[in-house]
Amino acid sequence: METTLSKLDIRPEDGKPVGSHDAGRYWHFDLCYLNTPSRVTLLNALEVPSRDGEVFGDTRFASAAAAYDAQLLEPFGHLAYSAFRYRHKWRFGDLLMWDNCAVQHKATSDFELPLRRLMQRCTFEGAAPVAGHG
């Protein structure tokens, strides 16, 4: 399992950065650059940024499969259509799971230190892509 942070947060014990300072800043599939990309991703909220009852650091999801089925011609154009999107407002302990081959996601960077967003991510390796036979 891998632990990631969405901001360059500071661990109180030693003051060193924890996790990736830009985790989830852009629309992406997890580990899609590997020879065997991840098939499934789980994200668990260990710490959620909030102030005065307002929660920050949502994660947005977009269905790449639905966009493909709709045959949208513009790359990433499906991200603009609400029918293909979901926005999750985190609560402590939330655990989300998604098909990493069919869903892109992006963290919302709408908070600053000292607020922190700590997520624990677990990915399951998928199968290596196979070239089609034509």
Phi then psi for residue 125, to 5 deg, are -65, 140
The residue with tokens 């994200």 is 43
64: in domain = yes
% of the chain exceeding 70 in pLDDT = 69
Number of structural domains in the chain: 1
19: in domain = yes
Query: What's 28's domain CATH number?
Result: 3.60.130.10
125: in domain = no
- CB burial readout 77-94, b (16+ within 10 A) else e: ebbeeeebeeebebeeee
Q: At CA 14, angle to CA 11 and CA 20, rounded to 5?
A: 40
Q: What is the pTM of this model?
A: 0.76
Residue 52's pLDDT band (cuts 50, 70, 90): very high
Q: Which domain holds residue 29?
A: 2-120
9: in domain = yes
Residue 31's pLDDT band (cuts 50, 70, 90): confident
128: in domain = no
Q: Is the pLDDT of residue 48 over 60?
A: yes
Among the listed residues 117, 122, 125, the one whose alpha carbon sits nearest the alpha carbon of residue 41: 122
79: in domain = yes
Residue 5's pLDDT band (cuts 50, 70, 90): very low
Residue 87 is predicted with a pLDDT of: 94
96: in domain = yes
Mean pLDDT, the chain, whole residue set: 77
40: in domain = yes
pLDDT per position as a tens digit, 56-112: 999 999 887 776 666 655 656 666 667 778 999 999 999 999 988 888 899 888 888
Selected residue with higher pLDDT from 130 and 10: 130
